[in-house]
Structure 1
């Protein structure tokens, strides 16, 4: 799967409760979601990242995909659910299998492109003491998932995941470069690296934060959330300029 420098984080199309963004926002209408997603594809952004914990995000992406014939790559997650205003975590085999089945149905896919383990802060315990990795490997072998990986919190868990993951999603930005070493290890093993929170949930300026992330050796793509198509276009321009400058 080839990913562009910027992917779209679909949190804000599905959830606006208990958020970490600096400003509150209203959920967009169905028509606004369609216009946003259509506009992203026109820009050339074809990786959309979602999760069961993102409220109605998977459902909205699936509804849009059901009306479009577009070659997008979708990443989703297992482990965290958001119900009745609260997050809860479940990493047992039955819950993971049910989550994947739900994502296939909601996203209207025969196969999920990428499924990541969505962990709380104690991500090492999740990897050591639950069957989530083995369950995802079984679902991958059965043909339900193309690529599996970890969307965790700590460099320790990310390092553990190098033994089995096809890709990692890690927090990495100028304020928190703690995953730099494991990103480079992943690159040496030809494991994909997606960066989340590269703009520190909107607290860092894009013109500085995006080049910092994409100039890190081993990073394949940066996932950025938002509801403003013009801002996403600006992010993509910054990314392409940073990559062009780095190649010269």
Structure 2
């Protein structure tokens, strides 16, 4: 049987004009192994392993890659690893959260937002980032209403340094507010947590983009015997037509291929 791929399943990322694979590769594990909530420990892959993972992703039809300054060395590793392939990838990064010496801190000021995006451009060795999301600390509405981060991202979009912006948030109110003037919301949506579904509904009605994080509940989901949790998760996620893509952070090539095959099957049956 030939390997299932997602090449035929690329879809619009809201109204950004970008086409993305329904699965995106999350890269926290390329850069950081402290303070991450996974059921099993892991080792950060070396450059050869990372290169093979990126090549496999491309071969499987994945063109969406998700990174962040808070993912340790992820961005600075991706720059050299993606050299010569910029056109092949839609890159999502973030602003607002820093991770230094095992500690997270947040800064949503105009100056830090601009500094952070310029630094991401340098690290990723690119002159534009496709999508930049505000890395919320959970105070979504306060960040959007009281901080300068969103207005600054709007300026950076006008300047051509980013193509779109939005919020990786934690609340329904924040997600809805973020989509009013932004392009995208990243929401948690899985078999355990569906509270942010109204944000996906709004996006579907208004031509906005939704990226799903924790689609597989970071590996924690429990189901009745005989039910494939990966398949059940993707049936839920892609059963909502407002979802553009689910970001899954695996560094295991077998898991990646299994996820792709499962998504391809689920999409064919929708």
Aligning the two structures, in what range does the TM-score lie when normalised by the shorter sequence?
A: over 0.9
Structure 1 counterpart of 2:239: 215
Q: Distance in 1 between matches of 2:77 and 2:87?
A: 15
1:67 shift after superposition: 4.7
Which residues of 2 match residues 108-187 of structure 1 at below 5 A? 108-187=125-204
1:68 shift after superposition: 3.8
Question: Structure 1 residue 242 and structure 2 residue 259: aligned?
Answer: no
Structure 2 counterpart of 1:64: 81
Structure 2 counterpart of 1:28: 45
Structure 2 counterpart of 1:92: 109
Structure 1 unaligned residues grouped into runs of 5+: none
Moved more, 227-236 or 60-69: 60-69
Is contact 1:75-1:112 (8 Å) kept?
yes
1:235 shift after superposition: 0.6
Deviation digits for residues 109-163 of structure 1 (CA, Å, limit 9, x no counterpart):
1111000000112122111111111010011111111011110111110011121
Is contact 1:111-1:145 (8 Å) kept?
yes
Is contact 2:64-2:90 (8 Å) kept?
yes
Question: Structure 1 residue 5 and structure 2 residue 22: aligned?
Answer: yes
What RMSD in Å do the two structures reach over aligned CA positions? 1.1
Structure 2 unaligned residues grouped into runs of 5+: 1-17, 222-228
1:93 shift after superposition: 0.8
Q: Distance in 2 between matches of 1:53 and 1:130?
A: 19
Structure 2 counterpart of 1:224: 248
CA 1:190–1:69: 2 relative to 1, 3 Å: closer
Q: Secondary structure at the match of 2:180?
A: coil
TM-score by length of 2: 0.89
* Runs of 4+ more than 2 Å apart: 67-70
Alignment size in residue pairs:
246
